[in-house]
Structure 1
Amino acid sequence: MTKKPILDVSDKPNLSQWLTLSVQHLFAMFGATILVPYLTHLSPAIALISSGLGTLAFLLITKFKVPAYLGSSFAFITPVITAKAGGGPGAAMVGTFLAGLVYAIVALIISQAGHRWIMKLLPPIVVGPVIIVIGLSVAPTAVGMAMNNPAGKYSMLHFSVALVTLAATIIFSIFAKKILSIIPILAGIVVGYIYALIVGIVDFGPVMKADWFEMPEFIIPFVSYKVKFTWDIFWLMVPVAVVTISEHIGHQLILSKVVGRDYIKEPGLHRSILGDGTATIISALVGGPPKTTYGENIGVLAITRVYSVYVLAGAAVLAIIFGFVGKITALIQTIPTPVMGGVSILLFGIIASSGLRMLVDSKIDFDDKRNLVIASVILIIGIGGAILKLPIKDIQIQGMALAAILGVVLNLILPGGQPVSDDIFGEETKEDQKTA
């Protein structure tokens, strides 16, 4: 039974409550949201601004009924890095825009045909292994960041910073209470930063030089770069978007239980997916990473029982303001690489483990050869970084994207798949019964 909320979805807090509660949500998303641009060499300031703008757009599209915050998506780290390496920041932004369009198309289909088809296309036996791939594919990056100095060579001093950061993050994750248990990433970064400061690998020069107000370097299409569509970018980003939609559905189900409303029906899954896609498109238009709803902020809702969309909107506005404060942006950029490496070791491991947990929670039977085949192919293709080169316009489908596509295809063509359970969403709508 859902406990009575302190502030319900449409309740407006007083001014002092509003600021305090919004800052709380800002801190919950902060560590993870700035880690993605740090890894992909995008601007942390633009990541904050785009997360705020995306959250406001999401709230508007969901008719201010769904209290959710949208931050940087970890699923797109490897595709964004690969796209930038092949075609610069502009290529990554084009790919991000295409991923947002996929959300919009899926939302349109769901609004007409119901939601059951997407769950049939992306069951746990496909999504679980792909999530594992998402976590493990960036493991070498995390370890390299943790162990190496700026010259790229092993350094015990830098590795000690990573280990202190990792230890602090683990301690906060396991032993912290209340709101601290929701922000172990941010808390771990703070502890690691202090230790790095003590051992002398923090340079405050950029902070001293930075102005309080600074205009971030937005990456604007047709202004900062020439917009060019390529099939390589399409196949690199779009298949990952299909998988993150499944993650979005999971978040909406959890949020429904926390808040005590059925968000799959009202305002509807199509609206929340459209909101997520719109946030990603906005991010692409200003130079930020793809967006996704954040489990950390759902955790804050569960602990505080403050569900007010005004509080989430306040956090979004604060994130936008922070993005224009030059001192804050410069301070973020002074965080040593091993600090982020230490956090990444745990965070990427948790992402991989969450895929494993999905398989366990869904009671996937690996004595069934069908399940064993699908999971095995996804894991090896994805982690191994396989590349499929097609003779048509030199199209390449790489790693995670190829793994996701093969997983979907195998699930559809191999006999013996499990039917979609009605218990996933509760009582079916009439539209869903027609399309079942």
Structure 2
Amino acid sequence: MSYARGMSVRPFLRAFPLSVQHVFAMFGSTVLVPYLTGLDPGSALIASGIGTLIFHWITGGKVPTYLGSSFAFIAPLTLFVTKHHAPGQAVAGLLAVAGMYLVISLVVTAVGFQRIRRAIPPVVVGPVVSIIGLALAGTAVSQMAALRWDVALVSLLAAIVASLAGWRQMRIVPILVGIFIGYVYAWLRGAVDFTPLHTAPVIAPPHFTAPSWSLGAVLAMAPIALVTMIEDLGHMFVLNEIVGRDVTKDPGFPRILVANGVSTAISAFLGGPAQTTYAENLGVLAITRQFSSRIIQGAAVIAILLGLFGKVGALIHTIPVPVMGGISILLFGMIAAMGIRHVIEEKVDLTNMKNLIVVAVIFIVGVGYPNNGIAFATLAGLLVYWLVPDLNRGEGGAAKTH
């Protein structure tokens, strides 16, 4: 009996710190959205955990990604929750978003995802993947790391050293190492605020909210779902590069859309925001090379517990922003690098002027557009690629499309 118990405990002890890394990666963004919109952060954490578990159940555990609060819906959520004091109408709008996911999944199934996929060439995919990381660079540097560069750099360097020069166990938890060392350094420098820990409740149940149907809320939120779907597709391209297999084929992008839609609907009833796949956690996958969905599911369970036990969640909330800024530089940078790797592996010819222009347009639109830049950059790149003729094609080399 003791041997069997030891066999079951050891995998758990190995997986637990990996799951904790994913919690740290998603925590800041997941609680920031409810803070900005007037929703309850604890409910958002619980919703993200339950939503992630539902997502993994629907996709058969074949898509190792975490679902957290979507930033795309901040404006309409703030309007209905904070200004109109109508959270029920916000729930109705989020249910309409979930419905859009289900409808588009049926359309994609009917048309055939591979037809859609063939319309998106590598010269578009690679830069879009890079933009997912680069679009977050301002957040990581200006809004987080720049608050205390010394704290951010200590955290970043600790994570880099752990990833490249640490012993084997340390190399699979570099994010955790970076956060721990950065936290200790920040505490020694007097940069840790323990106030959230003192004021947080011990138990914090989710805020269940019934929908109050509103045409205005539906019209304000449902169209934004098309933007987040494009971002989801970009995240799946990143995930394909990281894990070395195509999740848009198995379990398939339509099922991924259904899973995201159902998770958003559940989140709405729990008082949380819309759910979306998280680039932060893709960065963790890229660094650790640990792709087990069980690890992500463990993170989801931890998130639910953090949402229920306010003191524990508040302890994580005491992590200084610059610590996560230093870590985010590494996470987002890894995603940007994945896009460059995709362009190289697909042998995209950048001596071809049209290819170069496509990449240029995607980069500038994606980085320069303040909101939903990834979606608009993708659309801009596709429009240039398919609608603008290439009269110099023979001079600059053929553009590789597949």
**TM category, shorter:** 0.7 to 0.9
Give the counterpart letter for 1:71 in structure 2. L
- 1:15 is displaced (CA, Å) by 5.3
Q: 1:278 aligns with which of 249, 262, 280?
A: 262
Give the counterpart letter for 2:27 in structure 1. I
Whether the 8 Å contact between 1:99 and 1:238 is mirrored in structure 2 is: no
1:207-265, CA deviations, whole angstroms, 9 ceiling, x for partnerless residues? 1333332235x484747x978448776666633421421432553586575xxxx8666
1:278-331, CA deviations, whole angstroms, 9 ceiling, x for partnerless residues? 334434553246332754676799659xx5x77765553343122211111111
Q: Which has the higher helix share?
A: 2
Distance, in Å, in 1 between the alignment partners of 2:257 and 2:130 is: 23
Q: Secondary structure at the match of 1:375?
A: helix
Of 100-109 and 355-364, deviating more is 100-109
Q: 1:72 aligns with which of 64, 68, 75?
A: 68
Distance, in Å, in 2 between the alignment partners of 1:121 and 1:299 is: 27
Distance, in Å, in 2 between the alignment partners of 1:142 and 1:101 is: 33
**Residue 337 of structure 2 corresponds to residue 341 of structure 1:** no
Whether the 8 Å contact between 1:189 and 1:343 is mirrored in structure 2 is: yes
Aligned to 2:236: 248
Q: Secondary structure at the match of 2:364?
A: helix
Equivalenced residue count is 378
Distance, in Å, in 1 between the alignment partners of 2:187 and 2:97 is: 39
Aligned to 2:276: 291
Aligned to 2:127: 129
Q: Secondary structure at the match of 2:325?
A: helix
- 1:159-170 aligned at under 5 Å gives the runs 159-170=149-160
Q: TM-score, normalised by structure 2?
A: 0.75
Change in Cα spacing, 1:18 to 1:148, as seen in structure 2 (3 Å) is: closer
Aligned to 1:426: none
Aligned to 2:112: 114
Aligned to 1:200: 190
Q: TM-score, normalised by structure 1?
A: 0.70
1:140-189, CA deviations, whole angstroms, 9 ceiling, x for partnerless residues? 3322334655xxxxxxxx22111111211222232345454343333212
Aligned to 2:393: none
Whether the 8 Å contact between 1:22 and 1:312 is mirrored in structure 2 is: no
Of 334-343 and 398-407, deviating more is 398-407
Give the counterpart letter for 1:413 in structure 2. L
Aligned to 2:336: 352
Q: 1:31 aligns with which of 14, 21, 24?
A: 24
Aligned to 1:239: 227
What value does the CA root-mean-square deviation take over the aligned residues?
A: 4.0
Aligned to 2:394: none
Distance, in Å, in 2 between the alignment partners of 1:300 and 1:372 is: 29
**Residue 398 of structure 2 corresponds to residue 413 of structure 1:** no
Whether the 8 Å contact between 2:42 and 2:204 is mirrored in structure 1 is: no
- 1:200 is displaced (CA, Å) by 0.9
Q: Secondary structure at the match of 1:291?
A: strand
Change in Cα spacing, 1:381 to 1:302, as seen in structure 2 (3 Å) is: closer
Distance, in Å, in 2 between the alignment partners of 1:354 and 1:93 is: 36
Of 47-56 and 186-195, deviating more is 47-56
1:362-392, CA deviations, whole angstroms, 9 ceiling, x for partnerless residues? 2221111221121111222232228xxxxxx
Q: Secondary structure at the match of 2:62?
A: coil
Q: 1:174 aligns with which of 164, 178, 183?
A: 164
Q: 1:404 aligns with which of 365, 373, 378?
A: 378
Change in Cα spacing, 1:274 to 1:352, as seen in structure 2 (3 Å) is: same
Distance, in Å, in 1 between the alignment partners of 2:251 and 2:217 is: 34
Distance, in Å, in 1 between the alignment partners of 2:142 and 2:164 is: 25
Give the counterpart letter for 1:291 in structure 2. T
Change in Cα spacing, 1:354 to 1:220, as seen in structure 2 (3 Å) is: farther
Whether the 8 Å contact between 1:189 and 1:339 is mirrored in structure 2 is: yes
Aligned to 1:376: 360
Whether the 8 Å contact between 2:56 and 2:63 is mirrored in structure 1 is: yes
Distance, in Å, in 2 between the alignment partners of 1:227 and 1:178 is: 55
Give the counterpart letter for 1:352 in structure 2. A
Whether the 8 Å contact between 1:323 and 1:329 is mirrored in structure 2 is: yes
Distance, in Å, in 1 between the alignment partners of 2:288 and 2:158 is: 24
Whether the 8 Å contact between 1:179 and 1:303 is mirrored in structure 2 is: no
Give the counterpart letter for 2:183 in structure 1. Y
1:385-406, CA deviations, whole angstroms, 9 ceiling, x for partnerless residues? 28xxxxxxxxxx8644432221
- 1:195 is displaced (CA, Å) by 0.8
Q: 1:53 aligns with which of 44, 50, 54?
A: 50
User: In percent, how many aligned pairs have the same letter?
Assistant: 31
- 1:57 is displaced (CA, Å) by 1.3
Whether the 8 Å contact between 1:201 and 1:336 is mirrored in structure 2 is: yes
Distance, in Å, in 2 between the alignment partners of 1:65 and 1:139 is: 30
Whether the 8 Å contact between 2:347 and 2:400 is mirrored in structure 1 is: no
Give the counterpart letter for 2:177 in structure 1. A
Whether the 8 Å contact between 2:34 and 2:272 is mirrored in structure 1 is: no
- 1:198 is displaced (CA, Å) by 0.7
- 1:197 is displaced (CA, Å) by 0.7
Aligned to 2:315: 331
Structure 1 residue runs of 5 or longer lacking an equivalent are 1-12, 150-157, 387-396, 422-436
